[in-house]
Amino acid sequence: MELAQIASLFEKAVAEIGKVVVGQEELVEATLVALFCEGNVLIEGVPGLGKTLFVNTLSRALTCDFGRIQFTPDLMPSDLTGHSIYNAQEQQFTFNPGPIFTNLLLADEINRAPAKTQSALLEAMQERQVTVDGKSYPLARPYITIATQNPLEQEGTYPLPEAQLDRFMFKLLIDYPVIEQERRILTHYAEGRDNRDLTQFDLQPVMTGDDVVAIQEAIVKIIIEPSIVNYISDVIAKTRAWHTISVGASPRAGVHILLAARAMAACRGRDFVVPDDVKELAPWVLRHRLRLRPDAEIEGVLADDVIREVLDTVEAPRQ
């Protein structure tokens, strides 16, 4: 796929989603970037900000299979992956695929399920396959897991293990809309449109699953200079020696920055990566991978603050 086509499809998808989702430009653009480089996304925000609405709207903008799983404390791994059923007539087990076999998977309130259920997603998120009863079943391309969680309510929740957090390419934070955006949301309802019925918004699919796969294959041709590669590695290395960080970023974090930078460059019509791409992506990729020292957390230091400090101390290459 040509570069101009990628940028055009990206802009059309942003515009189509914008018919329903008011504001939240970073959320929309970052999720599309992750989709274009086969990354998974964790969305965190208080209830009522439109996390689930956004994913539902995204599924309407794509002609891909969409599956939603509401995570609850009694959810079992087989409820995600599927299970084998014995067929008495054929005298053999037949695999019944679960809802994880889709293109776009919404894991709603993922931290409400226990660790054994959360772990059922690990293989799908990394290897793009599911293993049941010793047999592996590949997932169709494209595949992306978009998970949501509420940062406020801790009762009845199970924090995501570090291994699973590291498999999310981005952690995106969404906040309250500004007053103008709030008024636009209310205007939708005043005009008789209800976000619970997306058919009222005349949403049109702007790309197919094949288009997404073609974009994923095309972005590997985006030029990334050795100086940019060195810049990414310097940022990752700095997190491992920073005074307020106890656990720095993993090598996978650097890989995710590189892959996402390529996708972002393509979405913006460039065939090369610039340092500003890395700076914009760094908080999305690193904020859930860094563990701060206890004294820093007591003082109210946030991961995003530390990331900005790290970026300020690493010299970016000149273009």
The enclosing domain of 62 has a CATH number of 3.40.50.300
Q: What tokens were used for 36? A: 């274009």
Whether 28 and 82 map to the same domain: the answer is: yes
Task: Give percent of the chain above pLDDT 70.
Answer: 98
Q: Is residue 215 part of a domain?
A: no
Identify whether residues 64 and 168 lie together within a single domain: yes
**Within a domain: residue 54?**
yes
- Tell me the pLDDT tens digit for each residue of 223-259: 999 999 999 999 999 999 888 998 889 999 999 999 9
Say if residues 191 and 47 touch (Cβ distance below 8 Å).
no
Q: Which residue has the higher pLDDT, 314 or 95?
A: 314
Structure confidence at residue 146 (pLDDT): 93
pLDDT level of residue 198 (50, 70, 90 thresholds): confident
Per DSSP, the residues of 28-81 read HHHHHHHHHTT--EEEE--TTSSHHHHHHHHHHHEES-EEEEE--TT--HHHHH
Min mean pLDDT across 59-63, 133-137, 154-158, 278-282 is at 154-158
Average pLDDT over residues 11-37: 91
Residue 47 lies in a domain: yes
Residues 99 and 105: beta-carbon distance below 8 Å: yes
Confidence of residue 8 (pLDDT cuts 50, 70, 90): very high
| 129 and 257 co-located in one domain | no
**Same structural domain, 49 and 140:** yes
Q: Given this model, what pLDDT does residue 195 score?
A: 79
How does DSSP classify residue 215? H
Q: What angle do CA 257, 70, 190 make, to 5 degrees?
A: 90
Q: Which residue type, as a one-letter code, is found at position 104? A: L
Both 40 and 162 in one domain: the answer is yes
Overall number of domains in the chain: 2
Do residues 34 and 134 share a domain? Answer: yes
pTM, entire model: 0.90
**Are 214 and 257 within 8 A, CB to CB?**
no
Cβ-contact 235, 248 below 8 angstroms: no
pLDDT tens figures, 48-107: 888 888 888 898 898 888 888 999 888 888 888 888 887 777 777 788 888 999 999 999
DSSP 274-294: -HHHHHHHHHHHHTTT-EE-H
How confident is the model over 12-25, as a mean pLDDT? Answer: 90
pLDDT at 45: 86
Q: Calculate mean pLDDT across residues 293-316.
A: 90
Are 157 and 243 within one domain? Answer: no
Query: What CATH number is associated with residue 237?
Result: 1.10.8.80
* Residues 34 and 173 reside in one and the same domain: yes
Question: Which pLDDT band, with edges at 50, 70 and 90, does 212 fall under?
Answer: very high
Backbone angles phi, psi at 69, to 5 degrees: -125, 120
Residues 94 and 140 in one domain: yes
Q: Which of 176, 193, 210 is the last residue of a domain?
A: 193
Same domain as 266, residue 123: no
In a domain, 17, yes or no: no
Give the range among 104-113, 156-165, 167-176 with minimum mean pLDDT. 156-165
pLDDT at 155: 64
* Domain extent at residue 71: 24-193
User: DSSP state, 318?
Assistant: P
Residue 264 contacts residue 281 (beta carbons within 8 Å): yes
> Is 7 a domain residue?
no
Do 155 and 83 fall within a single domain?
yes
The first and second tokens of residue 4, run together, are: 């101009």
In a domain, 274, yes or no: yes
Q: Is 104 in the same domain as 240?
A: no
* pLDDT exceeds cutoff 90 at 10: yes
State residue 154's pLDDT score: 66
| Residue 10 is assigned to a structural domain of this protein | no
Contact 147, 187 (CB under 8 A): no
* 279 in any annotated domain: yes
